[in-house]
Amino acid sequence: MSPIVELNVGGEMYTTMLSTLKKHPGSKLAEMFSGQPKLRTDSEGRFFIDRPGTYFKYILEYLRSNQVPTQCIQDVYKEALFYDIEPLIKQLEDSPQIFGELVARKQFLARVPNYSENIELMIRIARAEAVASRRSSVIVCVVRTEEDAARCQDALNSLDMDKKSVVKFGPWKAAPSISDLLDCIQIDVEAKGYKISFQPHVAEKGFRFKSHDFFYKFLFTWW
């Protein structure tokens, strides 16, 4: 291979040294250019990588100068994982953005039973109710302690609606509050492309005590 390499990364064109791409021998990026090239070429003969080209410039800058990016941290982190550039991955994981997501938020959500499954269930319910509607709503029950879980179940037993349509989160053993979990739910649903908001759900009838102690209405807006 020529010591100078031309790349087409998702439609963005780059020119760099082969030694730059192979700087970290254990990485997937180095593997792409080791031995016989494993990549296809475009019509101009440039090696084609089917990844977002916008963020490859940050990967390349790190390989050239060891400069850790300060912009688009989350997206560059995804690309660093894809190219398996371990030193960059570790440095990005020390940044406030990634550290907060991986160590603080994700570790908290790992302590909330069936969190990811419940997010998907919320979306399925909302989509099922979206036919010929501008908005659809999903009722969520959030309980932080086992005692609250028992009270929530008592409320559900007296609830004047289909219990299967109520999505339950908790209980959990961690410092974050119910409002913190509600914010996480909104963040993760919106990350999937949905537009949502939430508010305490107060039923006019069907509860033995204040429904807003546990119940919240998430509103999906479709158009």
Query: pLDDT band for position 164 (50/70/90)?
Result: low
Q: What is the reported pTM?
A: 0.70
Query: What pLDDT, in 10s, does the model give residues 27-74?
Result: 999 999 987 767 899 999 999 999 999 999 999 999 999 999 988 999
- 152 C-beta neighbours (distance < 10 Å), count: 20
Residue 7 pLDDT > 80: yes
Choose among 203, 178, 196, 207: nearest CA to 138.
Answer: 196
Choose among 219, 206, 213, 220: nearest CA to 161.
Answer: 206
How far is the C-alpha of 193 from the C-alpha of 222, rounded, in Å? Answer: 11
Residue 14 pLDDT > 70: yes
Q: Largest Cα–Cα distance in the chain?
A: 76
